[in-house]
Each structure stands twice: as structure tokens, then as C-alpha cells.
Amino acid sequence: MDVPLWVWPTFVGFVLAMLAVDLFLFHSDAHEVKIKEAGAWVAVWVTLALMFGGLIWAWQGRGFALEYLSGYLLEWALSVDNMFVFALLFTYFALPRAYQHRVLFWGILGALVFRAAFIAVGAALLELFHWTIFVFGAFLVVTGARMAFSGGEEVHPERNPVLRLVRRLLPMTPDYREQRFFVREAGRRMATPMLAVLVAVETTDIIFAVDSIPAIFGVTKETFIVFSSNAFAIMGLRALFFVLSGMMHRFDYLKYGLSAVLVFIGVKMLISDVLHIGTAISLSVIAGTIAASVLVSLFVERGAPSPVEDQSKLNPAPSDHE
């Protein structure tokens, strides 16, 4: 795929411009994001992502467009798993709903930076060492199997070494100061619990990226497609979170679908020297598996309480947020 150098800063500039419009024009004031508003933004981000896929089709052809669509769908599906953990973190820290968008915004901006670095490293490894693809494949097979047999999600921010370091280095206010990350009180510059939540969200996303970046390299080796599909999926994550936040506990079987997808991509990478699985087949498997797991989750009533509610009982947020 021949990508002129000017395309990269142009795309990054577009991403930053859209994020600026979202934050400073539509979310400059803290407010609880309602489902109707979030749904409109989901439609905006999905439309932009599909339009970009159409642009790739017109520019580079059907094959690269299908790779982009496969990567976008994969990253979007894996993002649902991220959102479930984010919901648990917000419950743990008792973060008011009016401030959640601000944390997600800066968390996603940081995620774009870290994922860009991971993508650059992954692309370099695949370029220099062909055997890296087998390492990625084996890792995804193991990760998929572990996901299928793992228990319910739990979060333990108190075990996060980065968060513990931040709390040790920075004095922190006992409660939130609107949606600010830092305040000056009694002549001292202090962090607020908003910063603690942001650090927890950011480090959690980095852990998820360790799974998702190798997975998307199993769909495409084109660095620009990997980054652009990641960017569009991540940018739509905030709006999708507010649409699904009240019903994420119903996706009981999604993890099995994601597990099957990771195993499929891992096997595809492991046998790539022997058997080539086309992009159209990969897209069909990814889309079909995820759709099936979502439908089963929605139509099979488990009758279990929301795991987010269970987690809040197990790990209530300390009153002083420490």
C-alpha cells in the first residue's frame, strides 16, 4: 500500500480536529450524557468510519478497504470489553456521570498515542523478523483460550503500580473538584481523584492494547490501515460507552465470541506460511462470530444481577478516594 507522507499528518490533524469539536463545542460544560445524545454521536463516528473505508476503496481498491473494515470491526468489538472494565472503574471511584465523558476523552487521546507507539513497534518487528508473526499468533490463541475460561471481570485499582506511584508523588484532594484534574488549594498544587481515574483508565487501555494490536496485525500488515481503523474505533468508544453503559451486563456471551475471534486470528497467523485465509473470509468470520455472540447474549436471559453492581458491593469506593 503506497501511502504518501503527507497523508499521515493530514489524517492525524483530522482526528485531532474532530476530538476538539467534540470536547470544546459539544462537551465544554460537564453534563450527564443521555442515550439520545450518545446515539447521535455513535451514528456520526460510524458514518465517518464507513466513509473513510469508502475513501480507501476508491484510493487503494477493494482488498485494502476490506482489511480496513475487518480491523475496524475487530477493534470496535474488543472495545466493548474495555468499556465494561471502564464502567467498573467508574463505579469503584464513584465518578459522577457528568464527569465521565471528560475522563474518557483524555483517556482516549492518550490511548491514541500509546497505540500509535505499539503499532510502530509491531510493524517494525514484523518487517525485521518474520517469525514475529508466529509469536503474535501463539499469543492470541493463548489469550483467546484464557478469555473463554476466565471468570467475571473485576478491577483492583489499589494494585495498579502506576496509580500507587502517582498517589505517592502527588498530594490529592479528598474529593472531586468538578471535572478538574488539578487544583491549587492553600498555596499547593494538588491532584484530584479525577486524575486517579484517568490513570486507571489509561493503564487499563494499555493492557488491552497488548491483545488488540497483535490481533489487528493478523488482519492486515498495512500500518496505515492498522492505525486508522484503531483511531476510528477508539474515537467512537466514548459515545458507545454511554449508549451501552446501562446494558453492558447483558452481553454475557460476547467474551466467548471475542475469544473465538482471537483464536481464529491467532491460528490464521500461525498457518500463514502454509495456508492463506483471504480478507473476505476473515471479515465474514469476525462479523458473524461477534454478531452471533451479541444475539445470543440479548435473547438468552441469564437472570443474573449486573456485574457492575456486584463489583460496587465488593469494592466500594473509599470516601477519601485513596
- pLDDT tens-digit profile, the chain (322 residues): 788 889 999 999 998 888 888 777 666 666 677 778 888 888 988 999 999 999 999 999 989 999 999 989 888 888 776 777 788 888 888 888 888 888 888 888 888 888 888 888 888 888 888 888 898 889 888 888 887 787 655 666 767 787 888 888 888 888 888 888 898 887 888 888 889 888 888 888 887 777 778 888 888 889 999 999 989 988 888 788 887 766 666 677 777 888 888 888 889 889 988 888 888 888 888 888 888 888 887 787 554 444 444 444 444 444 444 4
What per-residue confidence (pLDDT) applies to 286? 86
Q: Are 223 and 63 in contact (CB under 8 A)?
A: no
- CA triple 198-154-235, angle to 5 deg: 40
What per-residue confidence (pLDDT) applies to 57? 95
What per-residue confidence (pLDDT) applies to 313? 45
Q: Are 180 and 98 in contact (CB under 8 A)?
A: no
Q: Where are the alpha helices (DSSP H) in the chain?
A: 7-20, 35-60, 62-92, 97-128, 132-149, 161-169, 193-217, 223-235, 237-244, 254-270, 279-299, 307-314
Q: Which residues pair with 134 in a beta bridge?
A: none
Closest CA to 132 of 212, 216, 67, 214: 214
Indicate the pTM of the whole model: 0.79
- CA gyration radius for the chain? 20
Query: Phi first, then psi: what are they for 315, rounded to 5°?
Result: -125, 70
